[in-house]
Amino acid sequence: GAVVSQHPSWVICKSGTSVKIECRSLDFQATTMFWYRQFPKQSLMLMATSNEGSKATYEQGVEKDKFLINHASLTLSTLTVTSAHPEDSSFYICSALTGEDTEAFFGQGTRLTVV
Amino acid sequence: GQNIDQPTEMTATEGAIVQINCTYQTSGFNGLFWYQQHAGEAPTFLSYNVLDGLEEKGRFSSFLSRSKGYSYLLLKELQMKDSASYLCAVNKEYGNKLVFGAGTILRVKS
């Protein structure tokens, strides 16, 4: 099956700093990638849809200036959490579509802890 | 709004059969997915239904009734490794924009 790699798996950062999370499709080209956030014991919440070569589409309530998404190539999308605060601590997961669009493959997730 | 409901927790015995239900009310519908998620890991794909009926895949089967806004995941011959959270997700529009339920934590006991 298709492989999506997310890096880092976990990161601890200080309040006020920025953190970049990478999502790569290793063996396919992904025109569309999705970024989710999951708080403990809660559902995955879609944050934004990332399309290669264009601006990301953010879900209602997600601050686009705080969560910067760049989809510079067909195999890489990045999420940068800017000026991180403890309430941004969460599990961030990306997924990518293959050309068939019936199944999205998920990365391993990144656990972000802001101290 | 979007509403996807699943039971919070279920417990079943090794070797048994368990059914996890999911009801949904979404603004659009382009298929329903079931994912398995172990604690601290990303979800892994189990099944996809876009038409009414039953889809079988080894020990796992998934059923969909679009008119009732209802799906279930059936797990047979339960194994301890099946202990995980099971997520129901609706693709509400073309392009795999998924809305997830909160997940059902399944505990398999020996």
What is the 3-state secondary structure of A23-77?
Answer: EEECCCCCCEEEEEEECCCCCEEEEEEEECCCCCEECCCCCCCCEEEEEEECCEE
Residue B81 per-residue DSSP state: G
The minimal CB distance from A108 to the residues B41, B89, B99 is found for: B41
Residue B27 CB neighbour total at 10 angstroms: 10
3-state SS, residue A87: helix
Q: A105 versus A111: which is more confidently predicted?
A: A111
For testing contact with chain B, the best of A5, A23, A36, A44 (most B CBs within 10 A): A44
Q: Please compute the mean of the pLDDT values over residues B55-82 and round it to a whole number.
A: 96
**Separation CA A47–CA A41 (nearest Å):** 17
Q: How many CB pairs under 8 A join A and B?
A: 59
Task: Tell me the pLDDT band of A100, cut-offs 50, 70 and 90.
Answer: low
**Separation CA A58–CA A64 (nearest Å):** 7
Question: Which chain A residues contact residue B96 at CB under 8 A?
Answer: 32, 34, 95, 97, 101-104
Question: Which chain A residues contact residue B33 at CB under 8 A?
Answer: 103
Partner-chain contact A107 B42, CB within 8 Å: yes
- Statement: residue A86 has pLDDT above 90: yes
The minimal CB distance from B97 to the residues A43, A49, A111 is found for: A49
| Total residue count of chain A as it appears in this document | 115
> Which residues fall within 8 angstroms of residue B15, CB to CB, at 6 or more apart?
B77, B78
